Amino acid sequence: MTSNFLLGILSNVCGRYTISSPRKIVSEILGSDDDSAVEARYNVAPTQDAPVIVADTNGARLLTHMRWGLVPHWATNSDVGLAMINARAETAAYKPSFAESFRQRRCIVPADGFYEWQRKSGGRQPYLLRLQGGEPFTFAGLWDVWRGPNGTLLKTFTILTTTSNAVVEAIHGRMPVILGRQRCGEWLTTGSNVGTLTGLCAPYPAAAMETIPVSTYVNNVRHDSLECMQPVRLRTSSSLL
């Protein structure tokens, strides 16, 4: 894993997230007690497979796994996926890479936290951002299927982003689109009306979120353990005196 690759991830709006309580996520989002298809993850990173939920023609939610980093079906190779782990909600409906998926292939991505890095004089400080109490939620996503030269099919997804709320703004100017329970169903089953879909992508209420400083242990994509989420005490100017 090269340093350039790591820096590229750190510069994205939403470049890592957590699925630390799969049983709770499956129960509340899928309405099922069977969490065998979802494993606990503490540092989901681009190019990795992750659980994604889509709707069938009857509106029923189906759990599947896809690779993070959308590869349009018309792409000449799959490398473009790394540059498309996020899509701006304001423009996705008009960008060639995302427009068709925005109208026809939407998904929700289960999670219970995500990481952002704040620039500071000593480097970048990672934070875990989540709903109060660590409640599960979903990101608004898009997906597509790419056929490789040998005929194999690759399913991929991207996470939509929007302007930051007051909590996230102190760390990053944008944030992933977090959907409340009612909007999950709307996002999956709404038709192709761009205005309606874009309206579902408003910033999540700041009062419902919290930020937790964590150690730089999370910076390494090879680290995927509970240690990634452990809070740390930030050093202040007074503590240095």
What average pLDDT score do residues 210-229 get? 97
What is the CATH number for 99?
3.90.1680.10
143-163: pLDDT as tens digits = 999 999 999 999 999 999 999
Q: What is the pLDDT of residue 236?
A: 67
Cα four-point dihedral sign 107, 143, 167, 220: positive
Helix and strand numbers (H, E) in the chain are 6, 13
Picking from 191, 204, 12, the residue whose alpha carbon sits closest to that of residue 102 is 191
**DSSP 3-state of 8:** helix
Give the least confident one: 7-16, 62-71, 100-109, 182-191. 7-16
Residue 73: which domain range? 3-240
107 is catalytic: no
Name the catalytic one among 107, 116, 184, 201: 116
Q: Across all residues in the chain, what is the average pLDDT?
A: 90
- The whole-model pTM stands at 0.92
> What backbone torsions phi and psi does residue 227 show, to the nearest 5 degrees?
-60, -25
What is the count of structural domains for the chain? 1
228 is catalytic: no
Give the number of other CB atoms < 10 A from CB of residue 69. 22
